Structure formats: structure tokens, C-alpha cells
Amino acid sequence: MIDGTLQRIADFLALGGPVVTVLVGVSVISAALVIAKIWQFLVERVGRHTNMDRALAHWNAGNRQLAISDLSASRSAAGALVRQGMATIAEAGSDEKDAVSERLQAEAFAYLARLQSGFRALDAIAQLSPLIGLFGTVLGMIEAFRSLQEAGNSVDPSLLAGGIWVALLTTAVGLAVAMPTSLFLTWFESRVARERELLARALTIILNPVQLAEPVAISREQPTGMTGEAPVHAA
């Protein structure tokens, strides 16, 4: 069974020529990159921030230690970065705010850059694969018409038809490589965009907290008049 599968693959590559062989190699690279990025996103726990909103609400309310403890159980890389920023801000003085801000922004940039690694390669594969397939089609059509010219008056329509469908095979393979690569790249980019928005909001909040007003205590005593004087009872 394995030998038969290998033989069919070999026949397919021989039929498509060197262009299909190149596209198969490109598809292997694309699949490897996609699997590596999915694994990285799972390890970094991209998009999994269950306690982030609660921690930011506690930070805004002035409960800094409670906010840090909310993120202590977070296993995501973004959660760890925000928790580190909160701890640094809590220990730093007001005169160190600019330095801390620059450091946190640099670490956030490095984290996002790490998530985006490999995107250019996937984008290049998505854009070049159809062009490589089209190039193979053009070469196949040239070969088909050359064979048709050499046949002279004894033209066999099957010869031309066979050459054309073999030539179009390379375009089909190029599109088959480009379409899933483009879909995965779009999904990866959307996940990174959401991660960027989350980090931007979190860093803005921890660097510029808005202290909530103290709740107003409502007295249990009977209300007084509008002028602050006790109400006058009729005789």
C-alpha cells in the first residue's frame, strides 16, 4: 500500500514536471510553518485571558495587590507581561514612570514581534504559489503548441487536449497551495491584532490608572429639609 502511494506521487510529480515538484516543496514548507505557528499560539495561550478584565478593574479601583494576584494564575504570555508591569509599577516611584513605560512597551513589542515571526514567509507563499503555477501553465502551453506545430497536417486533437490539461495542472496546484496558506495567515493576523489591542488597553490602564470615587455613604437618619434645617411640623 505504501509502495502504491509512493508510486502515484511519483507519477503525479512526473506528470506535472519540475514546477509541480517545486510547488509540492513549497506546500511542505507552508504546512510546517502553519503547524509551528499553531503550536506557538497554543503554548503562548494567545487570546486566553480569563482574569485580565477583573485584574484591570481592581487596578483601577486602587487594589494593586489584588490585581496582581488575579493574574498570578494566568499562564498566558500576555498575562505574565501585564502582571510583571503591574508589579514593576507598584514598586517604582513616580519619577520612574517614563522608564517603566518604555520598558513595558518594548517588551510588548518584542512579544508581538515573536508572534508575527513567519508571517512574511506565509505571505510570500500565498502570493507566489499562483504565479509559479501560472508560469508552469505557460511553459506547458508553449510545449503543447510546439508539439502541435511539429505534427504538421497530421494533427491529433487528443495531443493538444492532453498538453493543455497537463499545463493547467500546475495552476491548480499553485492555487491549492495558496488558498489554505492565505486563510491561515489571515486567521493568525486577526489573533495577533486582538492581542495587540488587549496589550495596548492593559498597558494604558496600568500606566494611567483612574481612581474610582469613594462610594457615598447613605445615612440611616431621617432626611432634613432642602436648606439643611430640620423640617418644621405644623402645630
pLDDT(51) > 70: yes
Mean pLDDT of 120-132: 95
Q: CA 11, CA 164: separation in Å to the nearest integer? A: 18
pLDDT(27) > 90: yes
Q: CA 158, CA 113: separation in Å to the nearest integer? A: 54
| Mean pLDDT, the chain, whole residue set | 78
pLDDT(55) > 90: no
Domain boundaries, the chain: 25-207
pLDDT band per the 50, 70, 90 thresholds, residue 72: confident
Cα dihedral across residues 19, 20, 21, 27: positive or negative: positive
The reported pLDDT for the residue numbered 89 is: 81
Residue 216, Cβ density class (10 Å: 0-12 exposed, 13-18 middle, ≥19 buried): exposed
- Length reported for the chain: 235
> Please, how many CA atoms are within 13 Å of residue 123, restricted to the half-sphere of its CB?
8
Mean pLDDT of 38-47: 90
Please report how the helices 52-60 and 77-91 are oriented relative to each other, as an axis angle in degrees rounded to 10: 20
pLDDT, tens digit, 9 for 90 and up, residues 155-166: 666 666 666 777
Q: What pTM did the predictor assign? A: 0.75
